[in-house]
Structure 1
């Protein structure tokens, strides 16, 4: 976003409208190519636009008076539909490019059965996306949101200066993040596997074996998956206001991106393993032993990277500094000096 734009956008209402407009434009830009279904990247981009639009609507909820067709739940339905197709694209790309070429011929043959099933599922998912994007409800969503942008309606706090309310918008989601039980996944095993008396942070990723990590993920993997969702909410919301903060804020924002990525690797490999079991009607360890080993190793590497962030974010001083950073936006938007 340009400095000139930031200078013109002063109030909470102004910023809300600008964020919604940018994300809607991104959605509309990629929509024709998604319907053409020639480049998976187009689907990825429209899904990102939809997610960020939903994040903006959620983040600015206290000031927005949106029409029913453009509210959070309606956006969520479209986003989930796009997500089902995108998830299949990610799975197919990973199988074709990352795994298939490195497997023995016997396992490659078994994998072709999976390709066939996933291709069938993808065709069905694309039909649903096409139906959704061509539906009357979706057209109403676009039309009503554009009409709202032409004549925005707000609540009574619309004229509040954006800098004054930024902490109030950001801190609730960050508080949910810090209180999430996902941060505690594996901590007990780390404590039991070390001589440390410090119960607040893990000692290090090398104190747990890959087998132990697999047991932890089997028992508590859903907590990490849900933590990733909260990290994503915080990341998207922080993205909305990066122009009002300095380098420390940017560093925390990058942390959110990295945490989302590493937890995403864990989740993707677990989903992939589940899909393989469903298609092959068998444990993949017996049918695809090489592939099963690669998946386990991939999860373990992602876990080790995630655990570095886990250790950092269980540190009380870091959390205090994170909150303090949010409390001190840059009042002069022309300056991007350190806060």
Structure 2
């Protein structure tokens, strides 16, 4: 109990500290050992010094616990961790075998003596009602197992002879909690059955139909067969009077309609096929429609993300969260950020948690692509890197599942859904406090917003296309990627009111964003690979507290992959001018203007 309470209080998880894990594992392991030892001592008939299986089990289990305590975490590695598991598991196994062996023998001897032992125990209980038989539960359980092994019949565990008679059993009524003899229950059931004319007539017409007893229907509901409608002669829409548990169950089954089916959570958002934005909508109302649509996409892919069978489910859920975050940032001036801020913060947290797993999926996909056609030796050399990434992915996926199952996340979803459905909170005034008109419609605000974003993208041409700059800073490419993403997302948000030219614009911007995104991912990957070669593990490393490994020669496969990614970065830099020229070209600007003019024609 102390171990369980400590695990709850300390919120034990994969990311918990080594001290917390050590204390919890020690308390739980030692607690299980004490429980099994107590049960063994209660059931052992001969002296403990002569019970070798019990002594061996105790010694092995204690040895396993002590080895774990003194080796965790630094020395709890293979093969020592295997010894810990073997010693502890074998000791527990011996203790369990000893428990069942003792109580099986007791139950078997009791059955051979034809209940002599049971009657003696019952007489003791009758004379001393305040005392409790410590072995009765285990002896009864062992008797049930013996009965199943030796015979084909089954005696329910809730039928316990405590009256001293071989013919009468005490049965607890689950409805009233009172105890009645089994024979009395059977008689009452038969009387109730025959007193109902409908059921009596049914039994006369069909002798194969036998009304289940109250005991069977309560304890074993799976044996009750519900007859079809045509068998019992009940019309589908006829209201049936209470003619017994079977008839009632049948009527309730027949009366189930579509309205009684469980409602799919957030169905209002999942059913949205498009945002349905109009040019005459206010920017705030347009933002509401955009958020509702992408919130539905996020919720729709949540289950697939948790299952983890298809990594694209996680990708789609992450993109939906990322677009909600971008929509709030782009349309911030037209939203009530005091009410939106808490939702915005939760959306950012969701995107970050999903991204930590998605980034590792992408990295593993790139490694698989690199290993295609490679020799088995190179694949083996890459195993340390792949294993380290898989371990990190398991850790991040555990954090993600913990986040998605947390009360805070589900509370955010419910609160955000209520906020999106409350139309009053999304009303926007077209006149300010001074009585002056304020542009707030999509057709009035969106053109200025798009031209401002496009101007921010074109401004990078001065830096990137400057012939005097041989190798512009990669940080500039990263900033350009963010601005291109904002422009692309804004076009996608409002494509329903823009001209048809917006589709080609989005395609060209996506090609540029993919190039810049791969460039940024490669730069981050190179830094992580260098850290792995130096420190021997994946992820960001605290260089002050971490010690470097022996050197690059430890991971020759990783060294080759590092050179491969450097060449990939150079290829992306070489192909960048082509995709950049399509966006900076005058023809793109003309199509951009034509797309915006479609707002007034929609």
- Give the TM-score taking structure 2 as reference length: 0.45
- TM-superposed CA distance for 1:69, in Å, is 5.9
2:333 pairs with 1:55: no
Return the match for 2:317 from 34, 46, 58. Answer: 46
Return the match for 2:379 from 108, 124, 132. Answer: 108
- TM-superposed CA distance for 1:54, in Å, is 1.3
User: 1:203 maps to what in 2?
Assistant: none
Distance, in Å, in 2 between the alignment partners of 1:94 and 1:3 is 33
Return the match for 1:271 from 519, 524, 533. Answer: 524
User: 1:164 maps to what in 2?
Assistant: 444
2:518 pairs with 1:249: no
Cα distance 1:310–1:184, how it changes in 2: closer, same or farther (>3 A)? Answer: farther
Cα distance 1:4–1:259, how it changes in 2: closer, same or farther (>3 A)? Answer: closer
2:602 pairs with 1:329: no
Return the match for 2:303 from 9, 24, 32. Answer: 32
- TM-superposed CA distance for 1:99, in Å, is 0.7
- 8 Å CA contact 1:55, 1:236 repeated in 2: yes
State the Cα RMSD in Å: 3.2
- TM-superposed CA distance for 1:126, in Å, is 1.1
Distance, in Å, in 1 between the alignment partners of 2:442 and 2:357 is 37
2:346 pairs with 1:74: yes
- 8 Å CA contact 1:12, 1:63 repeated in 2: yes
DSSP 3-state at the match of 2:502: helix
Cα distance 1:140–1:178, how it changes in 2: closer, same or farther (>3 A)? Answer: farther
- 8 Å CA contact 1:63, 1:156 repeated in 2: no
User: 1:296 maps to what in 2?
Assistant: 566
2:420 pairs with 1:149: yes
Return the match for 2:364 from 78, 81, 92. Answer: 92
2:479 pairs with 1:220: no
Distance, in Å, in 1 between the alignment partners of 2:347 and 2:594 is 31
Cα distance 1:264–1:3, how it changes in 2: closer, same or farther (>3 A)? Answer: closer
- 8 Å CA contact 2:275, 2:293 repeated in 1: no
Distance, in Å, in 2 between the alignment partners of 1:71 and 1:228 is 25
DSSP 3-state at the match of 1:167: helix
Tell me the matched-pair count. 303
Cα distance 1:26–1:180, how it changes in 2: closer, same or farther (>3 A)? Answer: same
User: 2:151 maps to what in 1?
Assistant: none
User: 2:257 maps to what in 1?
Assistant: none
Where do 5+ consecutive residues of structure 2 fail to align?
Answer: 1-271, 431-437, 535-550
- 8 Å CA contact 1:40, 1:89 repeated in 2: yes
- TM-superposed CA distance for 1:83, in Å, is 1.1
Return the match for 2:467 from 158, 173, 188. Answer: 188
Cα distance 1:144–1:111, how it changes in 2: closer, same or farther (>3 A)? Answer: same
- 8 Å CA contact 1:224, 1:263 repeated in 2: yes
Cα distance 1:69–1:3, how it changes in 2: closer, same or farther (>3 A)? Answer: closer
User: 2:96 maps to what in 1?
Assistant: none
User: 2:228 maps to what in 1?
Assistant: none
Distance, in Å, in 2 between the alignment partners of 1:168 and 1:274 is 40
- TM-superposed CA distance for 1:72, in Å, is 2.9
User: 1:234 maps to what in 2?
Assistant: 487
User: 1:118 maps to what in 2?
Assistant: 389
- 8 Å CA contact 1:70, 1:145 repeated in 2: no
- 8 Å CA contact 1:10, 1:161 repeated in 2: yes
- 8 Å CA contact 1:33, 1:42 repeated in 2: yes
Where do 5+ consecutive residues of structure 1 fail to align?
Answer: 193-215, 334-339
User: 2:293 maps to what in 1?
Assistant: 22
DSSP 3-state at the match of 1:102: coil
Distance, in Å, in 2 between the alignment partners of 1:37 and 1:90 is 14
- Give the TM-score taking structure 1 as reference length: 0.77
Larger helix proportion, structure 1 or 2?
Answer: 1
Summarize deviations over 1:208-254 as a string: whole Å, max 9, x none.
xxxxxxxx3xx722221222122112211110011222243322221
Distance, in Å, in 2 between the alignment partners of 1:262 and 1:12 is 31
- TM-superposed CA distance for 1:189, in Å, is 5.6
Distance, in Å, in 2 between the alignment partners of 1:110 and 1:4 is 50
- TM-superposed CA distance for 1:24, in Å, is 0.6
2:452 pairs with 1:179: no
- TM-superposed CA distance for 1:322, in Å, is 6.4
Distance, in Å, in 1 between the alignment partners of 2:318 and 2:492 is 16
Q: Which has the higher contact order (CA 8 A, sep 6+)?
A: 1
DSSP 3-state at the match of 1:188: coil
Cα distance 1:94–1:111, how it changes in 2: closer, same or farther (>3 A)? Answer: same
